[in-house]
Structures are given as structure tokens and as C-alpha cells.
Structure 1
């Protein structure tokens, strides 16, 4: 009968969905085991811990300057009045294109004092993303210069090794956590990580700036 046929279809679909879910869970379990065995979770934990220390020191120093030297809001207001935005954005872009030496939070705080803070926040995020692309391109170029590649492969050996092991996840970590995004981007370029995939993972850089921007704007 027709209802028996329909019931059989439902049973078949349910069995296929169960098999699909089981396969998906098995793959997730295998990925979890792989990242556990290769030390990805411990690497992220240690990296966050190392990144938190300078951030805490920076915040303490900022508070001391604010209460004992000069009001931070006044200092930022002075910077917005006496330093052209294009010059500040250019400095930020240079930093994000090389090694990300200057914490982006400083520039986000600077943008909070401008007439259109979220517009400048978007500009900072775009420049950071573009700077990462330049770092990636530098990595690809370096891979074709044996002398420079051998030097960087030695100095960045741990990071390059990790990029080969974890690929896209390491790019996500660099894009979202308080770690040098330029370094992850350069390592991705050196190992010739697929460019389209890099661009997709790197888009999370915008999420980081949005979250940090909302937090810093709320405080400032």
C-alpha cells in the first residue's frame, strides 16, 4: 500500500541521517584526537598565556600613566587633533604588514576619539586584513629565495612546523586571538597554504576588531 511505501522511505531516510550523523561525529572525534595528540590545545593555551602577560603589563602601565602622568582621554584627544588620521593609519598598516609589533588596541582606542569611530574601526580592520595578505605574499616570495627561506625556516621553524600541522586553525587563532596575525600569515605563505582558504579564514580578523572595538569604545 501507499502508506507502507511512504513509511519505508521515512525509515530509509532516518537510517541515512543516523549514518551521516555517526560519520560526522566520528570525524569530529578523530579531529579532536589529532589536535590533542599534536599539541594544538596546549599551544593555544600557552600562546594566550604569553599574550596576556604583556597585555596586563600594558594595561597597568596605561592606568599608571592615566592617574599619575596625564589623562589618557586627553592624550588621545591631543593625538587626534595633532596627528593626521592618514599618518596614523599608515603607521598601523606598516605594523600589520610586517610583524604586528604595535598592539592594535592602541589604534582602536585612538579611533574612539574621532568623529566617526566605527568608520575608522572598519578602516583599521580592513588595513589589518590587507596587511595580513601582504605578509602572506611576502611569505610566498621568501619561499622562492633559498638564502632568505633557509634563514627564516630556522628562526620561524616552530611556527612553520605548526602551520604545516594545523593550517587553517592556526590562521584562525592568529586572526582572532591577541597574537601576531602577520606572523601566522607569513608562515601560511611560506608553506604555500591555499590562498583562497587563507582569505576565508582571515576574514575573522574583522570579528576580532568588532569585538575589541565595542569593548574599548564602551570603556573610553
Structure 2
């Protein structure tokens, strides 16, 4: 019985692997990684150049922490993560590294991003109830919606971990009525992304 269960599990995994290969999921992930690498390298290079030749980034971040209340910065980040991910999270991760309790603020940022994704999900759900808006967003997010329909949870995992706007992936999930409980589980990987990126960014700044 155990051997039969194992073989069934293997066959399911094999079929799943074939499906994702056939529908281009692996190519999509690889292309997304390639697209993400250049901007990340450029941002890192720009930060290094600015810090070396123009201004002290560390001091700038310290000045920001002294000028603005943490709730203001976290509030701006939450709005960004709720509305199409307008500001790169890496800037806020660097900010958290200059706080008295870096990992506490990093955790709060990760939570804000997670909650922002949930807001985006329900924006997607709401969009489906307004025909004119729904038709417009269907056109603008056509690729994301199509991919979410094909790959479901795996695309949410990719959106949570890779430098792909998590808000757009979440909104697409809401538009296609992806199961909310599953979305919440897959979205938890957003926390892993923040802590992994922080390991590099904290060392830089």
C-alpha cells in the first residue's frame, strides 16, 4: 500500500512538472529572474556610487529615522504595497536597518507588505463587481491574470519571493477569485523575501 501511495505521489509530481514545463512556468520564472537581476545590480551599484562620491547614505537613512516617525514611513510603505507596489521595498528594508531594533522594524515592514497584498487581493475582488473598471483592468493586467489562471498558487509564491510587484499578483488573484485561504498561506513567503534581502542590504548600508 505504501509503495502504491508513493508511486501515485511521484506520478502526480511528474504530471505537475510536465504541466508547468508545457505551459511555460519555468521559462516565466527564469525570465523574471533575469529581468530582476539587472535592476537589482543597478540599484546596488547606484547606492555604492552615491555613498562613495555624493553623500553618506548611512547618514541619510539616520536623518530620515530622526526626521520622520516610524509609523509615517511604514504607512507610506503599506500604501505602496497596496497600490501596485510603487516604491521598491529595498529602500524601506535599508531604512529598517538603521533603526534601534532592525529586525523588529523589518518584521513590521514584512507584515505591512503582506497586509498590503491582502488589500490588493480585495481590490481585485471589488474590481470584478464594477464592469467598466473590470474590463479596463482585464486589459491592463491581462498577462498576470492569464498566468494566475494557469499557475495559481505557484505564481503567488513567485510574486511573494521574487522582485515582481506582489500587489499586481495579488490583485490578479482577487480578479480570478483565487481561494483566499490558499492565497494567505502562499503569501506568507513574503516574510522570507524580506529577511533574505535584509541579509544583503544590512551589510551594504
TM, length-normalised to structure 1: 0.91
Q: Which residue of 1 aligns with 2:162?
A: 177
Q: In structure 2, how many angstroms separate the alpha carbons of the residues matched to 1:215 and 1:192?
A: 36
* Larger Cα-atom Rg: 1
RMSD: 1.0
Q: What secondary structure sits across from 1:99 in the alignment?
A: coil
Q: Which residue of 2 aligns with 1:7?
A: none
Q: Which residue of 2 aligns with 1:88?
A: 73
Q: Which residue of 1 aligns with 2:176?
A: 191
Q: In structure 2, how many angstroms separate the alpha carbons of the residues matched to 1:55 and 1:37?
A: 29
Residue 203 of structure 1, aligned match among 168, 182, 188: 188
Displacement of 1:92 in angstroms is 0.5
1:39 and 2:20 are equivalent in the alignment:
no
Query: Structure 2 matches for 1:73-152, cutoff 5 A?
Result: 73-152=58-137
1:51 and 2:33 are equivalent in the alignment:
no
TM, length-normalised to structure 2: 0.97
Q: Which residue of 2 aligns with 1:60?
A: 45
Query: Structure 2 matches for 1:6-17, cutoff 5 A?
Result: 16-17=1-2
Q: In structure 2, how many angstroms separate the alpha carbons of the residues matched to 1:62 and 1:217?
A: 13
Number of residue pairs the alignment of both structures matches: 205
Q: Which runs of 4+ in 1 moved over 6 A?
A: none
